[in-house]
Amino acid sequence: MPSLNEKLPEPYWRSPDGKHVLYHADCLTLIHRLGKFDAVVTDPPYGIGEAAGKNKSRGNLAVAKDYGDHSWDNIPVSENLMRKVVSSSKKAIIFGGNYYNLGPTKCYLVWDKENGENDFADCELAWTNLDKAVRRIRHMWNGMLRKDQEPRGDHPTQKPVGVMLWCLKQLPQESTTIIDPFAGSGTTGVASIRLGFKFVGIERVDAYCKAAARRMQTEWDAQERLRVAKENYKRRQHKNPLFEDEP
């Protein structure tokens, strides 16, 4: 993790190995205290009211869940905070970056939702400062119709794990540390744990922190079981005389 020059608040959640941390805080007051990361990968509020009870009333191929009526997406993130977000890391992948004045880019990441005929956007764009051409992923995400039947229900604008895994794989190979200052229900954290990145998330809504902590702990447990299983397999192979060197 980046070196920390100031005393930080107690994490809301920390993985048992200490490599992944979630803070319950407003990123405006915390992000500048966390040092420099290899990449910020995040999905900030766009200021288009997607949390204000829209999901229950918009047309789609399957019934959408009612996530309630919230105001956190009613106004966009301030320019001051967005500058801090971008400058927190060497590389940036910011969903909804097309709603902000982030400057030109040669590489938008395009998520095609394959969501059929409805009034939701066909695609979402992530602004990046990556030195590569535009990239696209097709990943269905339409109410109950979701690729691989991935569970959803913790956040009205929750991203699929598969999309965030793909985004992280676009980063330079030397990248090891990720920050998500708008962590929501923790999808970037789940993807980071699965791919072996170190991760710091910040989320100001308690209910989303709770969901993110639960999901990241579940992913950490799964990866730990996988690691132990691989070690046990290697140990058994080593003990098998068929795999030992000839004397």
What are the average pLDDT values for consecutive 10-residue runs of the chain, which has 247 residues? 68 98 96 96 80 49 50 72 96 94 96 80 94 94 57 73 97 98 96 98 95 97 96 80 56
pTM reported for the whole predicted model: 0.82
pLDDT of amino acid 59: 53
Give the number of other CB atoms < 10 A from CB of residue 220.
20
Q: How far is CA 94 from CA 83, 183, 207, 219, in A?
A: 12, 12, 23, 23
Helix spans in 136-241 (H): 161-169, 187-195, 206-239
Helix (H, G, I), strand (E, B) or coil at 159: coil
| Residue 99 exposed, middle or buried by CB count within 10 Å (0-12, 13-18, 19+) | middle
Question: What single-letter DSSP state applies at residue 33?
Answer: G
How many angstroms separate the CA atoms of 214 and 235, rounded? 32
Question: What single-letter DSSP state applies at residue 30?
Answer: H
What are the strands of the beta sheet with 109-112, ordered from one edge?
A: 13-14, 20-24, 198-203, 177-180, 37-42, 89-95, 123-128, 109-112, 135-138
Give the number of other CB atoms < 10 A from CB of residue 128.
25
Are 7 and 58 contacting, i.e. CB atoms less than 8 angstroms apart?
Answer: no
How many angstroms separate the CA atoms of 222 and 63, rounded? 31
Exposure on the CB side of residue 190, measured as CA atoms within 13 A: 22
How many angstroms separate the CA atoms of 203 and 26, rounded? 7
